[in-house]
Chains A and B, each alone.
Chain A
Amino acid sequence: MNPAILISLGILAYAVFIVWHGFRSFKSTSESSEKFFTADRGLNPFVLLCTTSISVFSALAFYGAPAGIYKDGIGFYSNTGGMIAGLMFVALGYRLWLLGKEYGFTTPVDYLRSRYYSEGYGLLVSIVLVLFIVPYVAMQLIAIGDAVVVTTDGLVPYVIAVAVGTIVVSLHIVGGGMGSVAWMDTFHMCLGFGTLITLIVYLTMHYFPNGGFAEAVDIMRQNGTFSILSTPGPNGAFDWRGIVGNALTGAIATVVWPHIFMRTFVASSKENFRQMSWAMPISYVLVYTPIVLIGAIIAPAILGPGFSQPDNIVAVLSTQYAPPFIAFISLLCLFAFGVSTADSLLLSASAMASRDIYLHHVYELKGKTSNPKQVVKFGRVVLLILMVITLVIVAIRPASITDYAYKLSSPFFAQILPATMAGLFWKKASKEGAIAGTVGGLIVATVFTFFVTPPLGFSALIWALVANTILLVVISLFTKVPEDVISKYHTRIDSIIYSGAELSSLTDATIAAVNNK
């Protein structure tokens, strides 16, 4: 049978499996919004690790990171920022988790609206996050659609590929909510890692049988691609300033991306954070090492210098330099990275659009009550609406969204970082400071993305964060925070975190004193 037909059948089986998995728990997730949006705050450490890590690694990481390294050298890999996201997930996440347990928070907007005692600020944040999630999700599905066309040799047309991808991802979430997404992400983490290892082992054994990577590096010395293996790289992009800018841009705000932020609320216990402190950076190392080796060693040694389609090196290697089985494996890996990011983002958009915008403003603020079934039902309706919008975008690929809106997604998501951190650790962070900082950051990000080249080689995201932080701090110093907010978010949480420790120290000191006597 034609390999393209076999691959198409494989994709179809994978799609059916994902939808089936989601709808297995349709009935039980219909009963409660807590179950649908937070999996009853019951994810165990391994599932939380997998769903958080694989949600960070997008389809663009699988295709984009090797391409970036091939073009600009190993310095491009600094976009993981020394795995700073792992450290921040624990440092910020534990307090957010305690707040979520205490006050029932589910989304970033829940926390920010309440901490900054402002309905307007909550509405601003929710609209910005929901609007800019859609282009990011669309880019994942476009990457999948393009790869399916290449891998099946055009047998599956682009429109069909993206339509199936969008519908499958959406139905999967509609069926099972956060619990289903988290377990499927765990499957995707194992799938992605396994397929990456298979891909790299095949390419290495087939093309460099007499020495593996050492043989490949020798070939790079001769074919003129050796400069990829050092900083600042072939184009001089990654001196220390380039690396600092890339690291901060790529990694520092990862923890406040809406779908990652929501994962701080779904841990089953504090043990999750104990494990995440070392396991999340290790999972980054495990997944990224094969990706980096493809871009830094395998692709340059096989393809040589000046390859005309550097953005497609992974697709080209897996389809033109490997048998159909490896091409299918590579496509599965892309699915693993793309679907896991897309479903997590769509779920967070659904949670914010349904709970934070519609239900909060139409029901709660007017004193009406909504039952949990209604909340889940509305969340599912929002998901279907988002599915249709995403479908239209990925089908017609308007430049205004795929080029312009997408470029703003990361810088805009990042603008809730200063308010989030200040709200957790600084009692004086006020509503006025948070609003001014966030709005200022959004304006600076837009200006430096489209109208003015950011100075000193740092990105629009970094400058926007600097402006945001300065505005937040300065304006907060001249405004007041209500006492009940300080009591709820600082005194209370500090007492939870430190009272036990203080009691233990006091007990230890007393016992020691008695013993000494």
Chain B
Amino acid sequence: MKKGVKIAFVIFNIIYFFIDYILVTLLPNPILFGWLPLQLCILLFLPVPAAIVWGLYYNAFFNTQEHVK
């Protein structure tokens, strides 16, 4: 895999975990859809886009592993 992709993946994870562990506590907390506070929304559902990025990255990585049976 290209070095740039690896660096971008590391930076994405740093930003993701910074938001999920630290920034979430400092954000305002409006209620979305009448019942879902923004902070809870982030804690519950931010892992979904993260999972998509992890899936895309490792999909590309395992495409380089065709020789491994």
Q: Interface 1/0s, chain B 23-39, versus A by CB < 8 A? A: 01110010101111101
Closest-CB distance, A514 to chain B (whole angstroms): 21
Take A270-B68, A284-B47, A285-B47 as given contacts and tell me if A277 and B57 are in contact as well, using a CB distance cutoff of 8 Å: yes
- Docked CA distance A63–B64 (Å): 43
Contacts of B35 in A (CB 8 A): 212-214, 216-217, 297
Kindly state the separation between the CA atoms of A216 and B52 in the bound complex, as whole angstroms: 32
Docked pose: A231 CA to B20 CA in angstroms: 12
> How far is the CB of A409 from the nearest CB of chain B, in Å?
24
Query: In the complex, which residues 270-328 of chain A have their Cβ closer than 8 Å to any Cβ of chain B?
Result: 270-271, 273-274, 277-279, 281-282, 284-285, 288-289, 292, 296-297
Q: Collect the chain A residues with CB atoms within 8 Å of residue B64's CB.
A: 500-501, 504
List chain A residues, Cβ under 8 A from B58: 90, 273-274, 277-278
- Minimal beta-carbon separation of B22 from chain A (angstroms): 5
CB contact list, A156-190 vs B, under 8 A = none
Partner of A83, one of B51, B62, B66, B68: B51
Question: Contact: A277 with B54, CB < 8 Å?
Answer: yes
Q: A82-B16, A90-B54, A240-B21 are in contact. Are A496 and B47 (CB under 8 A)?
A: no
A243 near B: Cβ within 8 Å? yes
Q: Which residue of A lies closest to B20 (CB)?
A: A82
Prevailing SS type, chain A contact patch: helix
Set A217, A243, A274, A497: member contacting B21, Cβ < 8 A? A243
Give every chain B residue within 8 A of A282 (Cβ-Cβ). 47-48, 51
The docked-state distance in angstroms from the alpha carbon of A292 to that of B42 is 13
Count of chain B residues near A, Cβ 8 A: 40
Contact A274 B43 (CB under 8 A): no
Within the complex, which residue of B17, B34, B37 is in contact with A214, where a contact is CB–CB below 8 Å? B34
Tell whether, in the assembled complex, residue A278 and residue B17 are in contact, meaning their CB atoms are under 8 Å apart: no
Interface centre among B33, B39, B51 (most CB of A within 10 A): B51
Within 8 A of B (CB), among A31-89: 74-75, 77-78, 80-84, 86-87
In the complex, whether A395 has a CB less than 8 A from a CB of chain B is: no
A423, CB-defined interface residue at 8 Å: no
CB distance from B42 to the nearest CB of A (A): 10
For residue A494, CB closer than 8 A to chain B, the reply is no
A90 contacts across to B, CB distance below 8 A: 54, 58
A220 to B21, CA, bound (A): 26
Residues of chain B within 8 A (CB-CB) of A216 are 35
Instruction: Tell me, in angstroms, the Cα distance from A167 to B54 when the chains sit together.
Output: 40
Instruction: Report A-chain residues with C-beta under 8 Å of the C-beta of B68.
Output: 98, 270, 496-497, 500
Distance between A474 CB and nearest chain B CB, rounded to angstroms: 25
- Cα separation A284 to B47 with both chains bound (whole Å): 9
- In the complex, whether A238 has a CB less than 8 A from a CB of chain B is yes
**CB-CB < 8 A to A77: which residues of B?**
40, 43-44
Residues of A within 8 A of B17 (CB): 82, 84
Query: Can you report 30 residue pairs joining A to B where beta carbons are below 8 Å apart?
Result: A74-B37, A74-B40, A77-B43, A82-B16, A82-B17, A86-B51, A214-B34, A217-B35, A229-B37, A229-B39, A230-B29, A231-B25, A232-B25, A238-B25, A239-B25, A240-B21, A243-B21, A243-B22, A243-B24, A270-B65, A274-B59, A277-B51, A277-B59, A278-B54, A278-B55, A282-B47, A282-B51, A285-B45, A285-B47, A503-B67
Told that A285-B47, A288-B44 touch, could you supply 11 new A-B pairs with CB distance under 8 A?
A74-B37, A77-B44, A78-B43, A229-B29, A229-B39, A229-B40, A238-B25, A274-B58, A274-B62, A296-B40, A500-B65
Closest 4 CB pairs of A and B: A278-B55, A500-B67, A214-B34, A277-B58
